[in-house]
Structure 1
Amino acid sequence: MTVVGYTRVSTQDQNLHSQTDALTAAGAEQIFTDKMSGEKAARPGLDDCLKYLRADDVLLVYSTDRLGRSMTDLVMIVGELHRRNIQFRSLTEPFDTTTAGGELFFHICAAFAQMNGRIISERTTAGLAAAKARGRVGGRPTVMTPDRIAFAQQMRADGATWQTIAATLQVGSASVLRALTGAPENVPARLT
Structure 2
Amino acid sequence: MHTHCQTTTLPRLIGYARVSTEAQDTDPQLDELWAAGCAAVLEECASGDDLGRPVLARLLRDIQRGETLVVVRLDRLARSVSHLLSVIEQLEARGAHFRSLRDPIDTATPQGMFSLQVLGAVAQLERALISERTKAGLSAARSRGRVGGNPGLRAGDPEAIRKARARRDAAYLETLVAQLDTWLPTVRRMRPDQPWGDVVRVLNQNSTADWTPERLRRIVQRLAAEGIVEAELLERAKPQQGADRLVRLVAGIAVAAPDRTLQQIAAQLEAMKERTPRGGTRWHPSSVRHLLGKAEKSGLLGLNR
TM-score (norm. length: structure 1)? 0.69
Whether 1:92 aligns to 2:78 is no
CA distance in 1, matches of 2:130, 2:100: 27
Are the counterparts in 2 of residues 32 and 48 from structure 1 also a CA contact under 8 Å?
Answer: no
Are the counterparts in 1 of residues 63 and 94 from structure 2 also a CA contact under 8 Å?
Answer: no
Which aligned pairs between 1:147-162 and structure 2 lie closer than 5 A? Answer: none
Paired residue type of 2:151: R
2:66 is matched with which residue?
A: 56
1:42 is matched with which residue?
A: 52
1:2 is matched with which residue?
A: 12
Work out which structure has the larger RCO, using CA pairs closer than 8 Å and 6 or more positions apart in sequence: 1
Whether 1:17 aligns to 2:27 is yes
In the alignment, which of 23, 32, 41 is matched to residue 31 of structure 1? 41
1:140 is matched with which residue?
A: 151
CA distance in 1, matches of 2:43, 2:55: 5
CA distance in 2, matches of 1:40, 1:17: 21
Whether 1:113 aligns to 2:111 is no
CA distance in 2, matches of 1:108, 1:101: 11
Measured after TM superposition, the shift of residue 143 of structure 1 is 5.3
- Structure 2 segments unaligned to the other structure (5+ residues): 1-10, 157-305
Q: Which moved more, 1:132-141 or 1:15-24?
A: 132-141
Measured after TM superposition, the shift of residue 80 of structure 1 is 2.5
Query: For residues 116 and 85 of structure 1, do their structure 2 counterparts lie closer, same or farther at Cα, with a shift above 3 Å needed?
Result: same
Q: Give the number of the structure whose alpha-carbon radius of gyration is greater.
A: 1
Paired residue type of 2:12: T
Are the counterparts in 1 of residues 68 and 98 from structure 2 also a CA contact under 8 Å?
Answer: yes
Give me the identity figure in percent.
39
In the alignment, which of 57, 81, 86 is matched to residue 76 of structure 1? 86
Paired residue type of 1:124: T
Query: For residues 77 and 135 of structure 1, do their structure 2 counterparts lie closer, same or farther at Cα, with a shift above 3 Å needed?
Result: same
Measured after TM superposition, the shift of residue 73 of structure 1 is 1.4
- Structure 1 segments unaligned to the other structure (5+ residues): 145-192
Which aligned pairs between 1:158-177 and structure 2 lie closer than 5 A? Answer: none
CA distance in 1, matches of 2:80, 2:151: 29
TM-score (norm. length: structure 2)? 0.45
CA distance in 1, matches of 2:123, 2:155: 40
Query: For residues 143 and 86 of structure 1, do their structure 2 counterparts lie closer, same or farther at Cα, with a shift above 3 Å needed?
Result: closer
Runs of 4+ aligned residues of structure 1 deviating over 3 Å after TM superposition are: 141-144
How many residue pairs get aligned? The number is 144
CA distance in 2, matches of 1:79, 1:143: 41
Are the counterparts in 1 of residues 69 and 99 from structure 2 also a CA contact under 8 Å?
Answer: yes
CA distance in 2, matches of 1:83, 1:51: 11
Whether 1:128 aligns to 2:138 is yes
CA distance in 1, matches of 2:116, 2:99: 10
Are the counterparts in 2 of residues 58 and 89 from structure 1 also a CA contact under 8 Å?
Answer: yes
